[in-house]
Structure 1
Amino acid sequence: FFILLCFVSSLSYLFLSHTINITHYKSFFFTILLFLELLSIAIGYISREMGDNNVNLPPGFRFYPTDEELVVHFLQRKAALLPCHPDVIPDLDLYPYDPWELNGKALAEGNQWYFYSRRTQNRNTSNGYWKPMGIDEPVVNSSSKKVGMKKYFLFYIGEGPAGIKTNWIMQEYRLSDCDSSSSRSSKRS
C-alpha cells in the first residue's frame, strides 16, 4: 500500500512574458509547452534510471497541488498502477529516515516534500516517531464527493510517550474506498 508524503507542494503554471500577439503564435507556444513537458518527463525518467532520487522541475515550474489533486491525479493513479503526468513524486521508504534526513530525496520546494511510501502501522524512525493528531479529514472533489482522507502526524524525538515534540508535521492521504488496514495513502509533511 502506498502513502504519498508531501513536504512541498503546488503546481504552478509557466508564465511566458512576451509582448507578441499570442493569437498569431498560438501553435508556437503550444509547441514550446509540449516540448517542456516532455523534457521534464524525460529528465525525471533519466534521473531515476541513474539512481538520482533528487527530483527537480525545470525553471519556472512549481508543484503546488490541492488535496483533491493529490488524491485524484496522483494517489488514485498510483494505486491503479497508471502513470502520473508529470511523474515527479518518487517512491521512498519513509520510516528509516528522520524528517530532517529527507531533504534531497523527494520533490521539494521550500519546506515541503512529496513522495510515495508504503503505509505501515509502525511509524517509528531511528530517532523518534510520528504521532497521529486529531481525527481524519475528508478530501472532497469539486462535486463535493469524498475521494480520500487526510490525517496529520507530528514528529517526536525519543521514545513515546515521553518523546520531545518537534515542529515537523506530516499529512497522510489515503483513498476513501479503502479500509484503514489496507488503504493506499499519501503523506504530506
Structure 2
Amino acid sequence: MTIDANEIVMQIDGDAIVTQLPPGYRFVPTDEELILFYLQNKVCFRPLPCEAVKDINANELYSNPPNTIVNFTLADNKKEWYFFIHQNKYQKEAEKNQTVRERNDARIGSFGFWTALENYEERVRKVGNGIGVWRSAGKKDPIYDNNGKVFGFKIQFIYFSATTNGYKKTHWRMEEYHLSTTCSNGDQEKEDLVLGRITRGRYYT
C-alpha cells in the first residue's frame, strides 16, 4: 500500500483509491453509479472508487434523528450524506419481532391484522424511543442498467419528528438503495447491506 505526497490517492494492490476529494470537487453520483460502483463493490469485497461513503450500523442510524447523524453547520453548504447501512443487527431484531407476531397470530388467529401490521412496519421505521419516524410509501423504484435490466432499486423515506400533537413532517429525506443481483465471478458476499443517501432541505431540525 502506498499513499502519494498529498494523501489524496492511495494504492491498494494496484487499485487507486481516492481517500478525499480535491478542493472544488463534489460527490454527485447518479443512482446507477451508487449501485454499480459503490454498493455492489462493497457487498462483493471489491475496491471502491473513493471513500466518500461512510459505514454505519442500522441500530445507530435508527436510534438518532438525522440532524445528529450527519455533520454540518448552518454555514455549511453541504446537503447530502452517504452511508453504507449494515443491517445485520437491525434485521435480526426485526426477525425476532416477526417471530413474536407469527406466534401471536397462530395463537389468536388474527392473520389479517398481523399482515397489515407487517406491511405498515415496512413503511415506518421508528427512531429511538419514538422521537421520530422515517416514513415511506412502500414503493420500490427500479434502477436499470444500460441494457434495460433491473439491477437495483431504491425506497424513498421522509423523516417525521415527534411533537406533543403527533408527528411533524421535516425537510429530511433518505433514499435507500438495494441490490437486486448477487456477486459474480465467485466473489464472497458481505452481510445484508444497503446504501443510504440522506439529504436536508431548508430547515434542519
TM-score, scaled relative to structure 1: 0.61
SS of structure 2 residue aligned to 1:158 = strand
Does the 8 Å contact 1:150/1:174 carry over to 2? Answer: yes
1:115 to 51, 76, 83: 83
Structure 2: where are the runs of 5+ without partners?
11-18, 95-124, 183-190, 199-205
Give the distance between the partners of 1:41 and 1:96, measured in 2 at CA.
Answer: 34
SS of structure 2 residue aligned to 1:163 = strand
SS of structure 1 residue aligned to 2:82 = strand
Structure 1 residue aligned with 2:142: 138
Deviation at 1:144, TM superposition (A): 1.4
Deviation at 1:72, TM superposition (A): 0.4
Deviation at 1:183, TM superposition (A): 5.1
Structure 1 residue aligned with 2:126: 124
Q: Alpha carbons of 1:109 and 1:138: their partners in 2 closer, same or farther (altered >3 Å)?
A: farther
TM-score, scaled relative to structure 2: 0.57
Does the 8 Å contact 1:41/1:87 carry over to 2? Answer: no
Give the distance between the partners of 2:42 and 2:159, measured in 1 at CA.
Answer: 26
Off by >4 Å, runs of 4+ in structure 1: none
Deviation at 1:59, TM superposition (A): 0.4
Give the distance between the partners of 2:9 and 2:147, measured in 1 at CA.
Answer: 30
How many residues of Structure 1 are paired with residues of Structure 2 in the alignment?
A: 137
Structure 1 residue aligned with 2:70: 103
Q: Alpha carbons of 1:143 and 1:183: their partners in 2 closer, same or farther (altered >3 Å)?
A: farther
Cα RMSD over matched residues?
3.1
Structure 1: where are the runs of 5+ without partners?
1-34, 43-54
SS of structure 1 residue aligned to 2:49 = coil
User: Which structure carries more relative contact order (alpha carbon 8 Å, separation 6+)?
Assistant: 1
